[in-house]
Amino acid sequence: MPSHAAGIFEVKLLPQSLANAEAGPLMGRLSISKTFSGDLQATSQGEMLSAGPTVKGSAGYVAMECVTGTLHGKSGSFVLQHSGTMNRGVPQLTVSVVPDSGTGELAGINGMLSIQMADGQHSYVMEYEISSQD
């Protein structure tokens, strides 16, 4: 049976140079730094690649972030993989735990994380399982 975790987080995004400077102004690269509170007490570091076409309300991004801390009191780390699009104002976002990326007491973790934003505050809900490592 999946476990449920929820809380809030703060995020800092800092622009970085693109590896391919000729990619043009539609492409972007950012570093990610987050602090989670609630059921997940952790920090994360990662990188995001984005594309912002000239059509208002459309964009896309992919990101990877390594989360380190405690989840319901179990310590370790895991990696989250993001894939998001905005299609003329309609958002779609998938954030999943990379298989076999868990360490420490979080080894064997798998699951999904959803992100909401209201009144300038980011919140998360995570559905996850930790299977035994044999």
Using the Cα atoms of residue 83, residue 56, residue 25 and residue 121 in order, give the sign of their dihedral. negative
Question: What average pLDDT does the segment 76-90 reach?
Answer: 96
| Top-confidence residue, 75 or 20 | 75
Q: What spatial distance separates the first Cα and last Cα of the chain, rounded to whole Å?
A: 19
Q: Which residue(s) pair with 123 in the sheet?
A: 8, 116
Give the whole-number percent of the chain exceeding pLDDT 90: 87
* Residue 77 banded pLDDT, cuts 50, 70, 90: very high
Tokens of 44: 């994360």
Question: What average pLDDT does the segment 89-112 reach?
Answer: 97
How does the average pLDDT of the chain come out, rounded?
94
Residues 72 and 97: their CA atoms lie apart, in Å, by: 16
Q: What domains does the chain contain, in order, with CATH numbers? A: 3-17+25-130 (2.40.350.10)
* Residue 134 banded pLDDT, cuts 50, 70, 90: low
pLDDT at 130 over 90: yes
Q: Which residue(s) pair with 128 in the sheet?
A: 3, 111
